[in-house]
Amino acid sequence: MIRALAPEECRQAMTRLPHGRLAVMTDHGPYAVPMLFAVQPSTLAFYTLPGRLLSSLRRHPLGVMVEFDWIESSSHWVSVLATGEFEERSRHELEAPLLALFATSGALFARIAREQVRQPEATFCQIMLGQVSGRAADPEAARRL
Amino acid sequence: MEKLELEEMLALLAVERPGRLLTVDRQRDEPYLVPVSFVLLAGSIYFYTEPGRKLTALRDAPQRVGFEVDGHDGYVAWSILASGHFAEVRSPVERAAATAGLLTKYRGSAVAPIWARSDGSLASFVRNLTAAEMGTLRITRLSGRRWR
């Protein structure tokens, strides 16, 4: 049975899943990359290095989408979608929560991120969350992440 | 970070599941990204979808479609992004070949898509398939990266 997740369940899923995907419009179509996010009450914080993602986010800051999923089997899965607006923040504001995330995450992406986030060209960003929705394939799936 | 070679990307797309279909929701002017079960055949990605926001977005902007797959094995992480154009699969021959490919890829898998599950009867299986639309992404661009 597929059911909708409550807002708090969506937030918990985003916190517990090792990484999500950030999707943004570009001049040539949609673009998406895997991303580690520090989940805060109304924002998702992340960093990125100069490149296609950052230039696209700056050019199309509205209507950014984030996706998280966990699929154990056909009857045990969770999927969360969130839309929001992109904005750049200072290293001073976001480096600490991101380093805390990378320090506790066992994901391979976290090890890579720990090295990259200290680079001078790292840009600190956040998604101001708007609509957040999620579905799960069984009543307990979101709680078992 | 390293770029993935074409052969490496094709090998990963052959086995990895699920992928994330990336479309443009023109009504909201924003990207829309959802996980799907898929199979790669002859340079195209095939998937089933039911009517809804995803199919509407695909039909509204068929030339602006992407497909993202990522994963890691504990030592290496990788990400692939394909882009191309969407088409609905109407040809019975193509549809049968893609369905066979999907069934082969997901046979015995715990993550077999819902449409591939049935109560064991042929009627149930056919009913699931005919209720869904088959779509394909004709890949025109493929890029991938790997992190160690």
Give me the residue spans of the domains in chain B: 2-147
Residue A143 belongs to some domain of the structure: no
- pLDDT for the residue numbered A143: 62
The superfamily CATH assigns to domain B2-147 is Electron Transport, Fmn-binding Protein; Chain A (2.30.110.10)
Range of the domain at A127: 3-135
Q: Percent of chain B having pLDDT more than 70?
A: 84
The average pLDDT across B60-89 equals: 93
Is the Cβ–Cβ distance between B138 and B43 less than 8 Å? yes
Compare all CA atoms of chain B with the CA of A107 and give the residue at the minimum distance.
B74
Scored b (16 or more CB within 10 A) or e, A30-69 reads bbbbbbbbbbeeebbbbbbeeeebbebbeebbebbbbbbb
Residue A145 belongs to some domain of the structure: no
The dihedral over CA atoms of B142, B5, A32, B15, expressed in degrees to the nearest 10, equals 90
- pLDDT for the residue numbered A139: 58
The average pLDDT across B65-89 equals: 92
B77: confidence class by pLDDT, cuts 50, 70, 90: confident
d(C-alpha B94, C-alpha B103), whole Å = 14
Residue A142 belongs to some domain of the structure: no
Q: Residue A60: give its domain's CATH number.
A: 2.30.110.10
A140: confidence class by pLDDT, cuts 50, 70, 90: low
Residue A144 belongs to some domain of the structure: no
Contacts of B22 in chain A (CB under 8 A): 23, 30-32
Contacts 24+ apart (CB under 8 A), A109-113: A109/A18, A109/A19, A109/A34, A109/A36, A109/B72, A109/B77, A109/B147, A110/A18, A110/A36, A112/B77, A112/B147, A113/A36, A113/A47
> Any idea which of A30-34, B54-58, B95-99 has the lowest mean pLDDT?
B95-99
> Any idea which of B34-48, B50-64, B102-116 has the lowest mean pLDDT?
B102-116
Does the pLDDT of residue B18 top 60, yes or no? yes
Structural domains of chain A, count: 1
d(C-alpha A76, C-alpha A72), whole Å = 6
Q: CB contact, 8 Å: B19 with chain A? A: no
Residue A107 belongs to some domain of the structure: yes
